[in-house]
Structure 1
Amino acid sequence: MLRTREAADVDAQDPDHLIDLTLVRPTIVGATISVRSRFSAVRFLAILCDGKPWATVPTFPRDGGDGITFSCQLPMVDRDRSMRVEARNAETQEVLGHKAFDVGPLYNSFGLSAALVLDGAHGPLMSMLGLSFDGVKLVISGGQLPPNGDPSQLRVEFDAGVAYTVEYPLPSPDFETHYWYWPNAGLSGIRITVDLLACAPGADPFRFRLVYPDLESLGGEARRKQAATALVPTARTVYIPSNLSSFIGFPGNITQLTRVQGHDSPQSVTFTGYSVFRALEAIMARHGIRASTGTTVLDWGCGHGRVTRHFIQNWQDARISGVDIDAENAAWCNENLPDGTFSQVPLWPPTSLKAASFDVIFGISVMTHLTAEAQQAWLEELARLLKPGGLALLSFAGPGAVAFSSFWRDRPWWDAWLRSGFDDQQSDLALQGKIPDATYYRNSYQMSDHVRSTYSKYLDVVAIELEQFGYQDLAILRKRT
């Protein structure tokens, strides 16, 4: 939770006495309000900056339960200046406090400007990882960065007839750290509860959308350039597995889970894998590929079958295959997902797979770990494996992923990234001891323009969708006929 400095109690008998706003950090305004104050029942505060609406933020119970506290990160500025901040009761618009503050730019501990990072971070990341079910209520939890820094701009939409409640925003310390550059990232927590017994017959409680407006008030030229060459999301659909068999059968060795996704909860792995499957299914359908007899699908980098298992369960007439450089995970899939075909492939192509044998190949978080040289070698191989007109769906770590890592970046690294549009210098140790070359697996980042110029040498670039899977972007490619 964002910390606030305690303010003096407000005299409840003096209607003209305002909340004592305090600049608790260079970019965060807040206050603590006594239970004896007439303002202690206020649930939401509308914050105005220099007379313009900025964000609506919630109040939270004060430690000890004797009042409320609130905080709000102010808009990013690129130079020192004065800013007049006003707090109003969001429900009545009564002015509760106002004060002018001297504010300045925000930097990380390595001297990198938040405004510079924000300029290229094209969307508010959504990360839904938590899933629990007690037989009556379904609870989904995670994080959603406040659109334009304002939590009130987020809408959650289910189909008609679904009984649900939304708790948002909730304090989110992890988001506040990783997304230090995003205004009010510390107010990203979200929890959605679906009451299945109260849902109307025929309603679909296993799908919802997170909707927000265009992101025009954050960022600058880099964001506009991204929007001109790729699809910037204004909504994201989250899919919840409704078949309990989806949760059955995972590797007993937890490291087989964590080196694929970074989470060791089978519930989280099932939830995220299913949502990726449904997103891929929708994209494939838009491009003419559906589940049918004879359709051939390859999961390139299948891991322990996080996504593949859902294709096997739901595309029973199709032929599903998976390959991975991780021999242990490929073998586990062969033994435990018998309706698919799995094999280990070498670090460098070619593979023993037959040419022109797949209608669609998808690779989720594979290009994110390959050097420029390895990417090009595998693009040539994927083009060989696709049927004429076949589709390749490849995620890559774009500006959103770089922004996520910016907490540890300095200005020289950032300037080099902006110049080149590609970086593969950082090693990833997730597969250490599982593959023969300790230098092969990387953390690789690339801009959309780099993807277009490189990938188009091997396949037609149909579209690029930004932050399709967490902070990873998706390149939609088609083999030339």
Structure 2
Amino acid sequence: MKQRLVSLARAAGLLPAFDALRYMRSKWASAKENARFCEAHPDFIPPPLWWMHDMYRHTSFDLYWKTGGETAAALTRLIDAHVKTDTPRVADWGCGLARVLRHLPAQYQRTGFDYNEHAVQWCADHIEGAQFFHNGLMPPLPAAAASFDALYALSVFTHLSEAAHDAWMHDIARVLAPGGIFLGAFHVNLAPGQLLPEEQARFDAGKLVVRGRVKEGSRTYVAYHPESWLRNHLFHGWEILEGPVEFFGQTLFVARRP
């Protein structure tokens, strides 16, 4: 019933209004906790709350910091296992407010990309030791060929159309150096009832499921990925090194470029 109601709200164009209400409720609920966090971490520069909500569906500074550090540690283990250089060139595509990138090892050459210009500017102003660039909804990334040894995308493909999936994988292969790896997180293992019956039938048939009718790239534009579709379509020609791996509520694949 909940998913059907959300579908009706999506069709009626009401999701942005509902999301604004969620933001106000989240901002009010986290205000005291955020004040305590800032008092305990005087050097911490708070990210903009609205963009936190838009990207992470919460407005908690403590959660932003802790989950960023935990995710960065997990990615670092994977990158170090598959990239054999002391100073890997690592790109965060969909870096948002640098939740993860800011915690990566200092010896990494770090680059962040995002299609949200406000987030890119905030990162450029406040995150040291990394470069940040704005990209469009569709390729290319503003980077030369073979620029990176590793590129990760966490909850990025989960908000793109099927055409964008194909275009971006081609460009990711372009910017990765020979032997470079891609680490991507997807919606693969879904909870019972998470999809509508007609969506579930498509998913079970091994087809990508996309919920649109809102701005592509936004949090409420959602894509769901059957494992067979990822293996046979998105990663066609790539060498899958690891995956599927449960990764902070999504499913991670690590693949080497063709």
Q: TM-score range by the shorter chain?
A: 0.7 to 0.9
Using a 3 Å threshold, how does the CA distance of structure 1 residues 458 and 381 change in structure 2: closer, same or farther? farther
Using a 3 Å threshold, how does the CA distance of structure 1 residues 247 and 382 change in structure 2: closer, same or farther? farther
Structure-to-structure mapping, 1:364-379, within 5 angstroms: 364-379=154-169
Structure 2 portions without partners, runs of 5+: 5-29, 34-39
Please tell me whether residue 419 in structure 1 is matched to residue 205 in structure 2: yes
Residues 383 and 479, structure 1, Cα contact 8 Å, conserved in 2: yes
User: Would you tell me which structure has more helix in proportion to its own residues?
Assistant: 2
Query: Which of structure 1's runs of 4+ aligned residues deviate more than 4 A?
Result: 108-111, 244-247
Separation (CA, whole Å) in 2 of partners of 1:308 and 1:423 = 29
Residues 462 and 477, structure 1, Cα contact 8 Å, conserved in 2: yes
Residues 199 and 209, structure 2, Cα contact 8 Å, conserved in 1: no
2:90 corresponds to which residue? 297
TM superposition shift of 1:109: 7.7
1:287 corresponds to which residue? 82
Structure 1 portions without partners, runs of 5+: 1-107, 112-129, 133-243, 430-437
1:479 corresponds to which residue? 257
Residues 244 and 253, structure 2, Cα contact 8 Å, conserved in 1: yes
Residues 247 and 266, structure 1, Cα contact 8 Å, conserved in 2: no
Q: Given the alignment, which residue of 300, 316, 339 partners 2:129?
A: 339
TM superposition shift of 1:371: 1.0
Structure-to-structure mapping, 1:351-390, within 5 angstroms: 351-390=141-180
1:320 corresponds to which residue? 110
3-state SS of 2:202 partner: helix
Higher relative contact order (CA 8 A, sep 6+): 2
TM superposition shift of 1:440: 5.1
Residues 379 and 455, structure 1, Cα contact 8 Å, conserved in 2: yes
TM superposition shift of 1:380: 0.5
Task: Read off the aligned partner of 1:389 and give its amino acid letter.
Answer: G
Please tell me whether residue 248 in structure 1 is matched to residue 26 in structure 2: no
TM superposition shift of 1:366: 0.3
Residues 297 and 358, structure 1, Cα contact 8 Å, conserved in 2: yes
Q: Which structure has the greater CA radius of gyration?
A: 1
2:27 corresponds to which residue? none
TM superposition shift of 1:452: 0.6
Separation (CA, whole Å) in 2 of partners of 1:267 and 1:420 = 38
3-state SS of 1:284 partner: helix
3-state SS of 2:55 partner: coil
Residues 363 and 395, structure 1, Cα contact 8 Å, conserved in 2: yes
Alignment deviations for residues 198-252 of structure 1 (CA, whole Å, 9 cap, x no partner):
xxxxxxxxxxxxxxxxxxxxxxxxxxxxxxxxxxxxxxxxxxxxxx86982222x
Separation (CA, whole Å) in 2 of partners of 1:332 and 1:421 = 37
TM superposition shift of 1:289: 4.6
Alignment deviations for residues 141-164 of structure 1 (CA, whole Å, 9 cap, x no partner):
xxxxxxxxxxxxxxxxxxxxxxxx
1:260 corresponds to which residue? 55
3-state SS of 1:259 partner: helix
Residues 367 and 375, structure 1, Cα contact 8 Å, conserved in 2: yes
2:73 corresponds to which residue? 278
Separation (CA, whole Å) in 1 of partners of 2:128 and 2:237 = 33
What TM-score does the superposition give when structure 1 sets the normalisation length?
Answer: 0.43
Residues 92 and 153, structure 2, Cα contact 8 Å, conserved in 1: yes
Separation (CA, whole Å) in 2 of partners of 1:335 and 1:380 = 31
TM superposition shift of 1:262: 0.8
1:234 corresponds to which residue? none
Using a 3 Å threshold, how does the CA distance of structure 1 residues 335 and 476 change in structure 2: closer, same or farther? same
Separation (CA, whole Å) in 2 of partners of 1:385 and 1:449 = 25
Task: Read off the aligned partner of 1:477 and give its amino acid letter.
Answer: A
Using a 3 Å threshold, how does the CA distance of structure 1 residues 277 and 440 change in structure 2: closer, same or farther? closer
1:455 corresponds to which residue? 234
Report the number of matched residues: 223
Residues 180 and 256, structure 2, Cα contact 8 Å, conserved in 1: yes
Residues 101 and 110, structure 2, Cα contact 8 Å, conserved in 1: yes
3-state SS of 2:56 partner: coil
Residues 247 and 267, structure 1, Cα contact 8 Å, conserved in 2: no
Residues 348 and 378, structure 1, Cα contact 8 Å, conserved in 2: yes
Separation (CA, whole Å) in 2 of partners of 1:455 and 1:443 = 17
TM superposition shift of 1:439: 4.2
Using a 3 Å threshold, how does the CA distance of structure 1 residues 455 and 266 change in structure 2: closer, same or farther? same
3-state SS of 1:384 partner: helix
Residues 83 and 180, structure 2, Cα contact 8 Å, conserved in 1: no
TM superposition shift of 1:419: 1.6
TM superposition shift of 1:352: 2.5
Residues 309 and 337, structure 1, Cα contact 8 Å, conserved in 2: yes
Task: Read off the aligned partner of 1:256 and give its amino acid letter.
Answer: W
Separation (CA, whole Å) in 2 of partners of 1:247 and 1:421 = 47
Structure-to-structure mapping, 1:19-34, within 5 angstroms: none
Task: Read off the aligned partner of 1:346 and give its amino acid letter.
Answer: G
Separation (CA, whole Å) in 2 of partners of 1:303 and 1:266 = 14
TM superposition shift of 1:305: 0.3
Q: Give the share of equivalent positions with the same residue, in percent.
A: 26
3-state SS of 1:399 partner: coil
Separation (CA, whole Å) in 1 of partners of 2:196 and 2:65 = 36
Separation (CA, whole Å) in 2 of partners of 1:320 and 1:368 = 23
Separation (CA, whole Å) in 2 of partners of 1:260 and 1:344 = 16
